[in-house]
Amino acid sequence: MPTDYMYVMKCSENDRYKEGKISRYGNIELSPSAGVLNYGQGLFEGLKAYRKESGGLLLFRPDQNAMRMKFGAERMCMPAPSVDQFIDAVKQITVANKRWVPPPGKGSLYIRPLLMGSGPILGLAPAPEYMFLIYASPVRNYFKEGSAPLNLYVDDEYDRASRGGAGGVKTITNYAPVLKAIMSAKGRGFSDVLYLDSMNKKYLEEVSSCNIFLVKDKVISTPATNGTILSGVTRKSIIEIARDLGYQVEERAIPVEELMYADEVFCTGTAVVVAPVGSITYKDKKVEFRTDAEALSRKLYNTLVGIQMGVIEDKFGWTVEIE
């Protein structure tokens, strides 16, 4: 759903970003030979603004998104806005579209920063000009089932990322290639796809747009970010919350066979937040997991959302209030 305003800031190659501006939401003009259109030189981020019971607005860890964009921009040979510029722009777009932030508990304002090679370039090289753009949209739950458990399919045919590639950064080129696998899985009644490592087809990586966690007794395991897995902000936050609650959290290589013995499985991401997985199908074998009200994923979800909405004390210093 389009909101009222977007934010745009431009930069030429080997220069720094100057002051950006808020403008009415609308189409942008690009050269047919823009780097982003021809060679996929682009990144995006995703974060949310929440409305407190008092009416105030909160952002959740925008500095982490800013730093991840800088990391990704270096990989994609693009100049990135500074952390301060990024956060200031996110605040501006949130305030400009504040009437679109849903009431407490009804959703959030999803904020989508884009960084793209907007300048014309015919030969394969970095673009001569770059655009940093942010737009926003009010959202509810990411998956159409709402809070219903996810039903995942382990795909051992398609790869999401490979060693030495760009799987560890949020480049736009990581997403269209998974559409084939997603559409195939959804056509068979699954919610999404869980990918394996491209080298061995043995270790868990991530779901199409979120990270995955396994729970066995008091131990939580998640695949280590080794260059092929995106380091999610929600993933990082859940690890810290879980450890604070007394759980042991392991970041390691996880063989796909461990799914057969897990008590619980859940996904994390800015869009999905914390989503319980009801079942996973691998090589025609379906394994079901705990998803009741006492499941750990529900406890972690309630804690994280409570912090994001200002209902639970933020002892981690993660939230940023917009004056």
Which residues are part of the catalytic machinery?
170
Q: How far apart are CA 215 and CA 265, in angstroms?
A: 6
Q: Phi and psi at residue 47, in whole multiples of 5°?
A: -150, 170
Q: How far apart are CA 111 and CA 99, in angstroms?
A: 14
Beta bridge partners of 65: none
Tokens of 294: 């006492």
**Could you tell me where the DSSP H helices lie in the chain?**
35-39, 62-75, 83-96, 179-187, 233-244, 296-308
Give yes or no for a contact between 128 and 119, defined as CB atoms under 8 angstroms apart. Answer: yes
Give yes or no for a contact between 142 and 66, defined as CB atoms under 8 angstroms apart. Answer: no
Exposed / middle / buried, residue 80 (Cβ in 10 Å: 0-12, 13-18, 19+): buried
Count of CB atoms situated within 10 Å of the CB of 189? 9
Q: Phi and psi at residue 174, in whole multiples of 5°?
A: -85, -15
Give yes or no for a contact between 298 and 276, defined as CB atoms under 8 angstroms apart. Answer: yes
Q: Which position has the token pair 């679109």?
A: 100
